[in-house]
Chains A and B, each alone.
Chain A
């Protein structure tokens, strides 16, 4: 009954005039910042911190939370329209969102993303409300061996992320893994491949890679095709029409991936980016028609979008109930709490129920606002694509440069954007798929660190990965997911041979 009481308190905060106003401000600012390429939730929250000085903590934090999930909600726009991911959690959205927009269905792609985000956000708030206290034990159940196993599971999916040559997909993955080894190694403090250049000490920010490999590489293709007509005359461009069939098709992935995303969001360190990739791969694996993925599949947009929004709410579990920030963004969020004199942690729920439950209750409202705000904007946003090609190219380049610059204010990173843009273009023309590269970049670094942490803990014994049930079962699942398809293929070939 305590939780119920708490939730009532929460709704009192969220539904007060002040509460509604600040949720609204939060989600508007969040969406707008999220829509700009390169500006993600971290900058959105950091920007808002000084504004909240001296405010009452409950509405201020309700607003901050709104900025956070609003930014994730809005982040898909530039991924879909320009192939320039606004935030790292929406890179996977561009795999199918961009092709669909290029087919003249930008409005539809954006609408799918908005609805999937809304469902993902709402389902996960329900889960958050019901399970937050109970889930705090799940959030801490993953030690280094389990993280290693989880990342390993993600990496085994690389083969399913690509068409064509498996060798080329593997080469792309190894290259992505190699890029993430650049920088100071956290376990030993050794500089790896930095050539003493201080700009390389922290390695590359994910967005530099994503904007280079996707946005700048796409710009190159646009330059080559600049004489093709733009999509300007297509009436359907801004149309939001989703048929019953479409809704039915996305209902499965959205429901499943809202849960998957939420659970991955709960784990510190996993977060929205990894969740969106895993959900994308998950749906592709179980789809009847996996070959549609990557060409504008509805499921391919719905899965990562519901997942990354659900993961965002999931990330509030360790933050609110344990005081553990699971990602860079929640770390800044934790900073925002502290500035307002609120210490998130195991006692927040009993000490400050109005804040704990106020934030959760406000998320229902925030997600509804986001949907209402975003849907009418879609036809106007989709018009971006009718900008004449040469002008559009210049603007996308500008957005990418500003986005990267506002991460670190370091010109060196801009040169690196150019380098990864050239690499991305080369990969395009020689048919090396970019998704395995980016997946290995995300998972590889964490996998290596978790592996080596485990080995230090176990004094060099590999048995640490099979001694406890959690890592063992994750490793078994990944093994099976590798073996079963191979076996089925082998049997299929044999049957075919026999018939002949």
Chain B
């Protein structure tokens, strides 16, 4: 029954709207404002519910261009997920290990993973970029980036 992509999206958005609406009804009330903090969120929640239903029943047929956009091979999703994973690791560790080291590692491995094989240039860029950025931020602009385990 849920063959159409719009129907699936509509259903998903309906659930999101319902959760948002439920949370809106949990907001405590405040006695001094004629329009309390919950009014607009409730309105937005209901609006999204209606739009989700409209999307579900909309008869708009996907154009070829639209279809092509979401036609992504499984393998490519793996690549994207790995890139996101690398960013996640970067964020997780960068205050602890420090900006320079993490950035060197990130740029080198991310570029290499995505198919950049000119390893000499890669080493050069992944070393120079973080050091230059760190110098600009910390010494020229006075914005502290995490130093981490380096004694600098």
Interface residues of A (CB under 8 A from B): 33, 43, 47, 50, 164-165, 167-168, 170-171, 174-175, 177-178, 181, 185, 187-190, 192-193, 219-220, 223-224, 226-227, 388-391, 393-395, 397-398, 401-402, 405-406, 409, 411, 414-415, 418, 421-422, 425, 428-431, 448, 451-452, 455-456, 459-460
Contacts and interface: CB of A to CB of B under 8 A. Distances in A.
A134 to B, nearest CB: 36
Contacts of B25: none
A220 B34 CA distance: 45
Majority DSSP secondary structure for residues of A touching B: helix
B111 A391 contact: yes
A388 B118 CA distance: 10
15 contacts: A33-B141, A167-B51, A171-B13, A174-B51, A177-B44, A178-B48, A181-B41, A192-B27, A223-B83, A226-B115, A390-B112, A394-B114, A395-B125, A428-B69, A429-B69
Contacts of A175: 48
Contacts of B80: 220, 223-224, 425
A418 B69 contact: no
B79 A223 contact: yes
A129 B58 CA distance: 54
B141 A47 contact: yes
B22 to A, nearest CB: 11
A452 B88 contact: no
A187 B48 CA distance: 24
A79 B81 CA distance: 25
B135 interface: no
A218 to B, nearest CB: 13
Contact of A418 (B70, B88, B112): B88
Given A165-B60, A181-B40, A422 B9 contact: no
A174 B47 contact: yes
A220 B72 CA distance: 12
B54 interface: yes
A394 B107 contact: yes
Contacts of A418: 84, 87-88, 91
Given A174-B48, A192-B27, A456-B33, A394 B110 contact: yes
A388 B58 CA distance: 42
Contacts of B114: 223, 226, 389-390, 393-394
Contact of B115 (A43, A390, A421, A455): A390
B64 interface: no
Given A224-B79, A431-B66, 12 more contacts: A43-B143, A189-B30, A224-B72, A390-B114, A391-B122, A393-B110, A402-B137, A406-B137, A406-B143, A418-B91, A455-B34, A456-B33
Interface residues of B, number: 66
A414 B107 contact: no
A368 B65 CA distance: 44
Given A190-B27, A418-B88, A430-B70, A394 B34 contact: no
B23 interface: yes
Contact of A188 (B30, B58, B83, B141): B30
Interface in B123-152: 125-126, 129, 133, 137, 141-145
Contacts of A181: 40-41, 44
A188 B34 CA distance: 11
A427 to B, nearest CB: 11
A394 B44 contact: no
Given A167-B55, A391-B125, A394-B107, A459 B34 contact: yes
Interface in B31-66: 32-41, 44-45, 47-48, 51-52, 54-55, 58, 60, 66
B116 A397 contact: no
A352 B66 CA distance: 60
B24 to A, nearest CB: 8
A110 to B, nearest CB: 22
Given A178-B44, A394-B111, A398-B103, A47 B143 contact: yes
Contacts of B66: 164, 431
Query: Which 10 A-B pairs have CB atoms at the shortest separation, nearest pair first?
Result: A390-B114, A460-B34, A390-B116, A188-B30, A190-B37, A185-B37, A394-B110, A429-B70, A414-B91, A390-B111
Nearest to A181: B41
A307 to B, nearest CB: 28
A304 B36 CA distance: 35
B72 A174 contact: no
Given A178-B41, A192-B27, A393-B114, A171 B48 contact: yes
